[in-house]
């Protein structure tokens, strides 16, 4: 009788644990569904881009007012975190946001800086990237904005991680050889539309890209249904192969201590859309120094670009710096380790009260790929501050980050995973 009671207790405990896990998963899916619904409603009402202005009643601007002479770029890329460089990039991000949000009819160009390229996605509705040239510093500057559309939210929630080599095509040559680079760009034009999206029907199309095109940009109903069916068939066939022993594509989920570099699929794919045009813009002046910056989604893409530029040999690591605002986690522990090995100059401003830098969770399930766990970890040198504000928007606003940067209230710290190892002197 006693053994029977003990078995029942064990059975009851197992049932409670199983139900708790199930409720947790259901709760997470419900939150995601409600978030997606809210984004669709906001975009349908044409107020998503201007949501920040609706919050100005709380005294929370989307960004600080552009300021001429605020910070400067040095003659060489600094080896350590450099405050004037950070302020310069912060001011450039302010000008980018002011132009994109419609606060200024024309881009308020900073003296001594020239626009090289405006890179649009989603059929020209999203100014996702801007490339600049600074002749006095002999440097190029690449900026990425944060999430402002439901399509970009879709990239944010692609939590499965993959090898960057499985998505990014290898470059035939570094930017030092203009002829080879030009041929690379000519090949890219055969695969990409003018807005940076892959051409539907080419062998390089992912099924997700085909589905995205069919859903958002195809007006003919029958053609939309045909593309959606074809894309779904390809997704189903791929998921079945993932569920088995795996394929040669390298997309199979990896254990937490994998030595293979894996990165957030959404950030990889979003960067992939813009990569040919970015390379083409960098090839215009072929500057020996490169600065990369971004906010939120753009900060995640900045991580990807920094890694890609160094690994592809476009420029040596000492000649590239990335400084980000509110960057989410981008890769697994092997990615963070690899960024240290290649001596990537990655400086990330993070608010401890901002939820975005804590996402994806260090252990997170896939929402778009096969049912599996993926592992994430922050990389680079963190610059820490704490500000709660009146709401979550305040904690994540670019202006909040810029305020603490201007007040010299950032605390540099070295990270291993997401733990503080030591404070920089």
User: What is the arithmetic mean of pLDDT over 255-277?
Assistant: 85
pTM of this prediction exceeds 0.85 = no
With cut-offs at 50, 70 and 90, classify the pLDDT of residue 247.
very low
Please give the C-alpha separations between residue 323 and each of 7, 89, 93, 107, 124, in angstroms, as whole numbers: 57, 8, 11, 22, 26
DSSP H or E run through 39:
helix 2-44
Q: Is 291 helix (H, G, I), strand (E, B) or coil?
A: strand
Non-local (6+) Cβ contacts of 412 within 8 A are: 81, 381, 382, 383, 384, 423, 424
pLDDT given for residue 211 in this prediction = 58
Non-local (6+) Cβ contacts of 408 within 8 A are: 83
How far is C-alpha 304 from the chain's CA centre? 7
Largest distance between two CA atoms of the chain: 86
Q: What is the total residue count of the chain?
A: 425
pLDDT given for residue 370 in this prediction = 60
Cα-trace Rg, the chain = 22
84, 144, 125: which is closest to 296 by C-alpha?
Answer: 144
C-alpha span between 142 and 287 (Å, rounded): 12
pLDDT given for residue 55 in this prediction = 46
Percent of the chain residues topping a pLDDT of 70: 66
With cut-offs at 50, 70 and 90, classify the pLDDT of residue 74.
very high
Backbone angles phi, psi at 295, to 5 degrees: -125, 135
Of 102 and 251, the one with more pLDDT = 102
User: What is the arithmetic mean of pLDDT over 266-284?
Assistant: 90
Count of CB atoms situated within 10 Å of the CB of 351: 23
The string of pLDDT tens digits covering residues 183-212 is 333 333 333 444 444 444 443 455 555 555
With cut-offs at 50, 70 and 90, classify the pLDDT of residue 386.
confident
Of 32 and 94, the one with more pLDDT = 94
375 beta partners = 363
Beta strands in 176-319 (DSSP E): 263-264, 289-295
Residue 380 has pLDDT above 80, yes or no: yes
Please give the C-alpha separations between residue 192 and each of 159, 205, 278, 324, 402, in angstroms, as whole numbers: 25, 10, 13, 28, 35
Q: Is 113 helix (H, G, I), strand (E, B) or coil?
A: coil
Structure tokens of 192? 């990409």
Residue 292 has pLDDT above 90, yes or no: yes
pLDDT given for residue 29 in this prediction = 79
């Amino acid at each position: 009788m006693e053994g029977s009671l003990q078995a029942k207790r064990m059975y009851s405990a197992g049932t409670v644990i199983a139900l708790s896990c199930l409720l947790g998963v259901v709760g997470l899916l419900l939150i995601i569904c409600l978030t997606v619904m809210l984004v669709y409603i906001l975009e349908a009402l044409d107020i998503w881009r201007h949501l920040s202005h609706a919050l100005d009643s709380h005294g929370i601007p989307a960004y600080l007012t552009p300021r001429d002479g605020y910070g400067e770029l040095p003659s060489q890329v600094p080896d350590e975190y450099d405050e004037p460089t950070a302020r310069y990039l912060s001011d450039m991000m302010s000008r980018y946001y002011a132009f994109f949000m419609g606060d200024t009819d024309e881009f308020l160009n900073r003296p001594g800086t020239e626009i090289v390229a405006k890179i649009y996605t989603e059929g020209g509705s999203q100014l996702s990237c801007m490339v600049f040239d600074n002749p006095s510093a002999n440097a190029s500057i690449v900026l990425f904005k944060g999430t402002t559309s439901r399509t970009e939210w879709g990239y944010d929630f692609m939590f499965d991680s993959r090898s960057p080599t499985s998505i990014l095509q290898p470059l035939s040559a570094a930017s030092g050889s203009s002829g080879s680079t030009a041929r690379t760009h000519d090949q890219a034009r055969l695969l990409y539309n003018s807005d940076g999206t892959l051409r539907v029907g080419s062998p390089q199309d992912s099924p997700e890209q085909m589905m995205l095109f069919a859903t958002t940009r195809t007006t003919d109903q029958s053609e939309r249904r045909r593309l959606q069916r074809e894309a779904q068939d390809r997704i189903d066939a791929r998921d079945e192969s993932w569920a088995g022993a795996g394929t040669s594509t390298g997309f199979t989920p990896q254990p937490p201590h994998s030595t293979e570099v894996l990165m957030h699929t959404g950030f990889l794919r979003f960067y992939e859309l813009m990569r040919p045009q970015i390379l083409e813009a960098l090839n215009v002046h072929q500057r020996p120094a490169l600065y990369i910056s971004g906010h939120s989604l753009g900060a995640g893409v900045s991580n990807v670009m920094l890694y890609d530029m160094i690994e592809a040999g476009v420029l040596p690591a000492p000649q590239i710096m990335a400084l980000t605002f509110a960057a989410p986690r981008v890769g697994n522990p092997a990615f963070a380790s690899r960024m240290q090995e290649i001596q990537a100059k990655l400086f990330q401003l993070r608010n401890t009260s901002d939820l975005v830098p804590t996402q994806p969770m260090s252990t997170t399930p896939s929402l778009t790929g096969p049912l599996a766990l993926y592992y994430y970890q922050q990389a680079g040198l963190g610059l820490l501050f704490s500000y709660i504000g009146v709401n979550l928007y305040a904690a994540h606003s670019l202006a909040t980050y810029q305020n603490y940067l201007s007040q010299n209230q950032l605390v540099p710290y070295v990270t291993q995973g997401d733990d503080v190892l030591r404070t920089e002197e």
